[in-house]
Amino acid sequence: MSDFTHFDAKGNARMVDVGDKDVTERTATAVATVAMQPATLALIRSGGVKKGDVLQVARLAGIMAAKRTADLIPLCHPLSLAAVDLELTCDPARNAVDIRATCRVIARTGVEMEAMTAASIAALTVYDMCKSVDRGMRVTEVRLIHKAGGKSGTFTAS
């Protein structure tokens, strides 16, 4: 278990001590997709969903979620985010809403979890707002696609 940073030598859960790490700019981008029926996507695009503007509410939910990541994920460091950006794009060819969340911080630890949380919660918000017309929607492809900064350097998903 010693290969995992969130466990001590005895296998006990612990918050990683980042006190000796350098303060650097760190960014992370995560994506998610919500696949749905063509009629559901048409409702989103036309503004016909009864609960309101799906893309704007999901964007706000993602931003709010990024700011609360440490409250949601055990052992995650609370961060003072410098920026959170969410892009939500409708893709009629795939009957999907694609979500891209990018977070930036100047800190001793990265923002991968904040970006993943933002993308996930934005996707769940799309589902929640549209579930009355399409319970078969699927949240898929939640993943980190890019991270930069810190000792481990840059990661870009292939």
DSSP assignment of 81-133, as one string?
Answer: -SEEEEEEEEETTTTEEEEEEEEEEEESS--HHHHHHHHHHHHHHHHHHHTTT
Residues belonging to the active site? 128
Which residues, at least 6 apart from 143, have a Cβ–Cβ distance to it below 8 Å?
30, 31, 32, 116, 157
